[in-house]
Amino acid sequence: MNLASPLVIESSNLSVAWGEAFLHTFNFPKRQLRPILLSVIGLSGDAPSEDQIMRKALDAALLAGGKNSVRVSGLTIFPYDMWSRRGKPSCLEFSELCVEKYLPRLKALDQRNRYGTYFERMMRFTGAQKGLVKSVNQLDFVIGLLKRERRSRHTALQIACFDPVKDHTGQSVRGFPCLQQVAIIQDDEGKIAINAYYPSQYIFDRAYGNYLGLCHLGQFIAHESNKNLARLNCYIGQPILGDISKGNLQSLAMLVQTQNNAHSDSGADVGT
């Protein structure tokens, strides 16, 4: 990791954006990796555009390496499929379902969720106020501000994931939370953007699912606040290839390069 200027990646295709980040971490030594500012645009539809060839190849590599699939990594940020299947219930109703019923199942199935999940922190962040323990549904609060006729200050549209009380530990590797904070910005035309900050991120292991989950989170917030999601901006201070050797990812890197080249040749937005 060096202190060079960030690598800026912008694409209307989530797979292409992730592919550029992956190739950067694959092609350069660790000490030459730059911070990444990744932006996925054109998110007005129900789902971000993806390259299914690239996603299937990544899922196969993740499975071979004993990692979570793209879908599983995404649902720890926001369980979008479950929300859609249940008819898109309100924030409070869905939050209760996630925290009370879905979260215990996730923790029982995978010990990597023992510290919690991002949607838990977003839906039930615990803290102390005047000496009393209090929980806050950050999603419901932010959605309420976005629904007001009067514009709210941007500094109020914040969703915290990192909790110093729980997360300031001496562990050399903890695994959660890598996502520190999510912020929402809005314009005068009813559009919103999701800004996410990762001090570090495993690009192979989790990044694609992270970006997909953040897009789904943005779609949920947009739906509940009657806004339109326009963009995801994600800043990664220290990109890391992942817990796997480059030799095991040679074929994936070749496929990603081929697919990204095809999108570039067709005029799609690519990284810069």
- Arithmetic mean of pLDDT, 161-176: 62
**Gap between the terminal Cα atoms of the chain:** 19
What pLDDT is attached to residue 132? 77
- Strand segments, DSSP code E, in the chain are 7-11, 36-41, 125-129, 132-136, 158-160, 181-186, 191-202, 228-240
CB 194 within 8 A of CB 214: yes
Q: Got the DSSP string for 48-61?
A: -B--HHHHHHHHHH
Number of Cβ within 10 Å of residue 93's Cβ equals: 10
What pLDDT is attached to residue 175? 57
- Arithmetic mean of pLDDT, 182-206: 94
Which pLDDT band, with edges at 50, 70 and 90, does 229 fall under?
Answer: very high
Kindly report which listed range (131-145, 199-213, 236-250) carries the lowest average pLDDT score: 131-145
Q: In the chain, pLDDT over 90 holds for what percent of residues?
A: 64
Query: From CA 169, how far away is CA 172, in angstroms rounded?
Result: 9
Which whole-number Å values give the CA distances from 228 to 11, 46, 145, 252, 260, in the listed order? 18, 10, 15, 34, 27
Kindly report which listed range (10-24, 33-47, 174-188, 210-224) carries the lowest average pLDDT score: 174-188
pLDDT surpassing 50 at residue 272: no
Return mean pLDDT, the chain.
Answer: 87
Query: From CA 71, how far away is CA 63, in angstroms rounded?
Result: 12
pLDDT surpassing 60 at residue 184: yes
Q: Which domains does the chain have, with CATH numbers?
A: 7-261 (3.30.572)
Tell me the whole-structure pTM to 2 decimals.
Answer: 0.90
pLDDT surpassing 70 at residue 151: yes
- Arithmetic mean of pLDDT, 233-259: 95
Structure tokens at 212: 């997909």
